[in-house]
Amino acid sequence: MDRSEMMGSENIGRLLWNFSLPAIVGMVVNALYNIVARIFVGRGVGSLGLAAVAVALPVMTIIMGLSILIGVGATALISIRLGERKKDQAELVAGNAMVMLVLLPAAFAVLFFAFSEPILTALGSSAAVLPYARDYLSIIIAGAFISSFSMGANNFIRAEGNPRMSMYTQILGGLVNVVLNYVFIFKFGWGIKGSAFASVIAQAVAAIWVLSYFLSGRSLVKIYLKNLVPKLPIVGSIMA
């Protein structure tokens, strides 16, 4: 019995438990590594570093919102198509969504770099905080397409009935983030840039993990080049 059949025949209570627990663990790990990373910034960079991260938070929330918009929208469609036994349609949605997860944050990055100083000033950055915020966000925004892909595409793993693998992605990214934050800030002395690089590299590791899962043959939903060409009806359905 494959995973899609299991989701159609398994006991509802057991399915809720099997899907809810990994999701909860993943969210807790995500919250914890963010707390630890902020502690490292506070101890290693100081109050200006923490202020820079606070200024950057709204921009980072927009990026996260884009990945959630695409990821959750595509996840719902993938689940529906698998339930309808339309695996080829589920794969088309996944392929289109993966392209969108890269292109939309890339477009947002271009917009940010064109108006970075006015944006940071509007978000409340003082003259003292501005260099830190610019250093931090420039790296985060440059790697936004990576974090968007890892967060969004990780939802597809859950949609095809493998919530534990999705949880492992979050744990892996969190552990790498914490370790690299410590190394880059305290050992290499990279300051606020070190924290930003740690976040981007951690998300890159998570993205590679997700991509390897889909390309290794272990996934129910396969990725084909033909499905990476955006189709407006599919894109509209994902965003709706």
- Is residue 146 within 8 A of residue 201, CB to CB? The reply is no
- Interval 160-202: pLDDT, tens: 888 999 999 999 999 999 999 999 999 999 999 999 999 999 9
- Scanning the structure block, which residue is given the tokens 């939309």? 104
Mean of per-residue pLDDT scores for the chain: 91
Q: Is the C-alpha dihedral spanning 135, 138, 139, 141 positive or negative?
A: positive
- Interval 139-148: pLDDT, tens: 999 999 999 9
The CA distances from residue 193 to 40, 127, 135, 181, 208, in Å, are 12, 18, 6, 10, 22
Contacts of 119 (CB under 8 A, 6+ apart): 59, 112
192/190 Cα distance (integer angstroms):
7
Say if residue 33's pLDDT is above 90: no
Q: Which residue from 174, 171, 152 is spatially nearest to 65, judged by alpha carbons? A: 152
69/64 Cα distance (integer angstroms):
8
- Interval 92-120: pLDDT, tens: 999 999 999 999 999 999 999 999 999 99
